[in-house]
Amino acid sequence: MLKVNCHIDSQAIACKQNIVKKYDILEKIASLSSEIYGLASAEVLDAMQERENLGSTGFGRGIAIPHCKISGIERPMGVFLSLNKAIDYNAIDDESVDLIFALISPVNNGAAHLHALAEVSRLLRDEKSCAQLRGTDNADSIFALLSMNSELNAA
């Protein structure tokens, strides 16, 4: 529910995951995308991996925003993961990653993808927001934080 630019279902949030490899993060994103949004898991995984092959989406301070575009969806959708232990993600600052917000956008709407990506990166650049996201192991609390931030940013 990040603004109107990105939809995230409360069930698309997985807290304190015990994931130790970057590829496993992408698999978890693809799996949740399939379960929650009805997307083809293999298509999401392939598209996410293809984007990561261009360069890491780990943008620093323990945060990654893997993203891709796929056909058959109307608007950008999100999946959020927090990890129990930060892992190597080849981030731009070489720091390990423990917060991941994946963005899946329609192939034919680059503007919506860019707006959603900007909204997510603004949220995750905010140190207070990240501290709150790291401080909870409850998906409902994270959903509320993401929703609250979208309402604040929309004002």
pLDDT digits (tens, 9 = 90+) for 87-124: 999 999 999 999 999 999 999 888 888 988 998 998 89
Hey, where are the domains in the chain?
Answer: 10-154
- Out of 36-40, 46-50, 108-112, which region has the weakest mean confidence (pLDDT)? 108-112
> Do residues 40 and 65 touch, judged by C-beta distance below 8 A?
no
Alpha carbons within 13 A on the beta-carbon side of 124 = 28
Where in the sequence numbering do the catalytic residues fall?
A: 67
| Amino acid found at 144 | A
Element (H, E) at 20: none
pTM of the model as a whole: 0.91
Q: Are strands 63-64 and 58-60 parallel, antiparallel or unpaired?
A: antiparallel
106 has which bridge partners? 70
pLDDT-based confidence at 151, cuts 50/70/90? very low
CATH homologous superfamily of 10-154 equals: Mannitol-specific EII; Chain A (3.40.930.10)
